[in-house]
Structure 1
Amino acid sequence: MLKIENINFYQDDILIENHDLTIEDGIITSAQPSIKSNKKAERLVVPGFIDLQIYGAGGKLFSAEPTVESLSIIEDDLLKKGTTGFLACIATNTPQVFNECIKTAKEHRPYAKNCLGLHLEGPFLNPKRLGAHVPEFVRKASLDEIKALLDFGDGVIKMMTIAPELQDDDVIQYLLDHNVVVSLGHSNATFDEAISAYNKGIQTTTHLFNAMNPIHHREPGIPTAVFNHNKAMASIIVDNRHVSFDVVKFSQKLLKERIFLITDAVTECSTGPYQHKLVGDKYVMPDGTLSGSSLTMLMAVKNCVEHCNISLIDALKMATEYPAKLIGKDKIFGKVALGTQANLLVLDDKLNITDTIFKGDLISN
């Protein structure tokens, strides 16, 4: 049993103050007013973060070192930083690298902690909107290739970013039928093509504004399609490098529960096609192209609150509840509620993590 005394937490958007939480067998079993302290609680308990797009952590870029050991190092590093669930992302690469990453994820699955599976960002992208992706590996998907990929993946492929304007409808439908979250990204789709893709069932959009056409008053493009659709979601990188804080601000006002945070984080790497170098607070490729971020999920939440005029409760939902719902894990992640698994963070009054609780166990930070 674990007891967290004299804390605050949000329940249905209401701040519940000065309570004790009891955790038994990994489940939150009790929330009672604290009777041991007359002091106003300064600590806040929130759900653990969910990052649906991260390439590496702890000095390990997964695609460059696709081993069980490196995946375990990434898991442990992210747990200490408050990410209790994540999808390991693989950028456009050779079939051999994809297969090795998938094989490793399957081997690791029985022992996985916070790694929930894989996000394949490519190779079925639009060559006109690649960003830092390697053009020689980009291609159109065939249905046979997708069938073989998912068969080999055996359930570890949870999400895939594609350019839908270049893919056949039967490919998209096969992914959706096999419970893969499909995200529109690295795409040059027109407004009408993007709306059509969302209407076909594509659920979300990869790193809004990046690697897609911009908003234009006569050619509205992908961002405007997301804003105008009634269901389409979008991830966003809140580092003021990939997207301006002011753009994040109006995007959140328009999308509300349809926008969620990702880090898109990488780590320094000097081998393989993705040789990320940290320059200041951003990562770039050898030619200077902006690549992944240096964000943590906590930094993204703080940026939302401190620079984007987003309330703390909304910023936390963007990092927890909304991505959890997208991947169908909202009964396990994203809430502080009785009967739910205790994947929690304890924050001090400056929003720094003092403790991570994962499946009811206290993780040393």
Structure 2
Amino acid sequence: MPYTHFHSPTLPVRYLLRNCTLYTGTSVLRHHALLIDTGRIEAVLPEVVAPTGLSEVDGRGLNVAPGLLDLQVYGAEGRLFSVQPTADALAALTGFAFRHGTTGVLATMPTNSLTMMHAALEAGKEFQRHHPGLLGIHLEGPYINPVKKGAHQQEFIHAPTVAEIDELLRVADGALRMMTLAPEITPPAVAARLREAGVVLSAGHSNATYTEATQGFSSGFAAATHLFNAMSGLQGREPGLVGAVYDHAAAQASIIADGVHCDFASVRISKKLLQERLFLITDAVTESQQGAYRFRRQADHFVDEQGTLAGSALTLPQAVRNCAEQVGVPLAEALRMASLYPARLLGLDDELGYLETGYTADFWLFDEELTTVATARAGKLVWH
């Protein structure tokens, strides 16, 4: 489908959103209103003191929270970015996310040929210039450990070099925001070059020992990719990458809260240990019967041609609901796991993740079932 600018042509640049419950990122406020002006939040204020004479939008008694952020998503609606790294695939991906309360995504390219990796960066660079819903590109590989490749393609896996990284950065021109690598095969010079360029490093598809993983976190890795999946596990005599994440003071970790990629008890245990360092991703793919990645849906997840678990069928609202209903996380905290905490990892928490004065007016409206009813990006509100 062609990309659509999501907005209401009749909505003024300054308006008051009222009759709703606000999950601000710090508080749950009832009988409050959001004052929006030119794409930013001008004020959060009690309805009784809200200014009069403004254009008003009825929040219909719904809940309002900061826009969700998905830092690992591959495709939607039959368009898989890892097979078709095009503007059309990005439009489908960002459009689908927007309709599910997600105002920012990192489109993800898994291990592939360097030609395809470059194509993903080129497409992301161009698309991002006109469509703020794309926060950038996440390259998941090809610098991973083949022992933990999961559904990634063996033929494209190799060790990184500074020269190859420099070429990726040149092509990306700022569009590369995150990269998943195995710390045990990543030379310090490669990690340093990526960090110097502002790329967030995440440890994943890794068989690292506890010592190797801890060294990675000490030398620039900021996170771990889809906790438990495709990584060395926590064992009594070798704590592995999972143990290193748990034990580190600052490392964040993404998790796929669908009950398939990891048991909800594992999500609960991890939440107790990691607290604000654990955030939600969808790891969502879509049906594909061409290219290097061919997926088919199996109940509530996707598998590749060999039957290997290959991705989820989640939306972020479903992940939030699972955390609230299956894991026992309070709703306000589950919402932060899909908005504020990923914003922190990208260094965007001074713009996104809160409903506060001065923040970008990215938010979504949802009912008690976590069904998305409307979404706003930069204050442009669309009812679905």
Q: TM-score, normalised by structure 2?
A: 0.91
The one of 286, 289, 294 equivalent to 1:270 is 289
Q: Which residue of structure 2 aligns with residue 174 of structure 1?
A: 193
The farther-off stretch of 182-191 and 350-359 is 350-359
CA distance in 2, matches of 1:8, 1:312: 13
1:256-280 deviations in Å (ceiling 9; x for gaps): 1111000000000000111010011
The one of 13, 38, 43 equivalent to 1:30 is 43
Closer, same or farther in 2 for the Cα pair 1:12/1:276, shift >3 Å? closer
What are the residue-to-residue correspondences of 1:307-326 with 2, within 5 Å?
307-326=326-345
Q: Match for 1:258: what amino acid?
A: R
Q: Which residue of structure 1 aligns with residue 57 of structure 2?
A: none
- Runs (5+) with no aligned partner, structure 2: 1-13, 51-59
Q: Which residue of structure 2 aligns with residue 4 of structure 1?
A: 17
Closer, same or farther in 2 for the Cα pair 1:12/1:327, shift >3 Å? closer
1:152-178 deviations in Å (ceiling 9; x for gaps): 111100000001111211011111111
* 8 A contact 2:66–2:339 mirrored in 1: yes
* 8 A contact 1:42–1:349 mirrored in 2: no
CA distance in 2, matches of 1:197, 1:74: 31
CA distance in 2, matches of 1:153, 1:30: 37
CA distance in 2, matches of 1:221, 1:30: 46
The one of 133, 136, 151 equivalent to 2:152 is 133
- 1:88 deviates by 0.3
Q: Which residue of structure 1 aligns with residue 321 of structure 2?
A: 302
Q: Match for 2:124: what amino acid?
A: A
- 1:30 deviates by 2.6
Instruction: Give the secondary structure class of the aligned counterpart of 2:71.
Output: strand
What are the residue-to-residue correspondences of 1:1-365 with 2, within 5 Å?
1-11=14-24, 13-35=26-48, 42-365=61-384
- 1:306 deviates by 0.3
* 8 A contact 1:75–1:113 mirrored in 2: no
Instruction: Give the secondary structure class of the aligned counterpart of 1:43.
Output: strand
Q: Match for 1:144: what amino acid?
A: A
* 8 A contact 1:125–1:139 mirrored in 2: yes
CA distance in 2, matches of 1:11, 1:185: 32
* 8 A contact 2:20–2:62 mirrored in 1: yes
CA distance in 2, matches of 1:43, 1:185: 38
CA distance in 1, matches of 2:15, 2:154: 51
Please tell me the root mean square deviation across aligned C-alpha atoms, in Å. Answer: 1.5
1:201-255 deviations in Å (ceiling 9; x for gaps): 2100000000011211111111111111101110000001101000000100100
Instruction: Give the secondary structure class of the aligned counterpart of 1:203.
Output: strand
Q: How many residues align?
A: 362
Q: Match for 2:43: what amino acid?
A: S
Q: Match for 1:289: what amino acid?
A: T
CA distance in 2, matches of 1:110, 1:161: 24
Percent identity, please. Answer: 41
- Runs (5+) with no aligned partner, structure 1: none
Instruction: Give the secondary structure class of the aligned counterpart of 2:260.
Output: coil
Q: Match for 2:172: what amino acid?
A: G
CA distance in 1, matches of 2:351, 2:95: 19
* 8 A contact 1:79–1:363 mirrored in 2: no
Instruction: Give the secondary structure class of the aligned counterpart of 1:111.
Output: coil
Instruction: Give the secondary structure class of the aligned counterpart of 2:90.
Output: helix
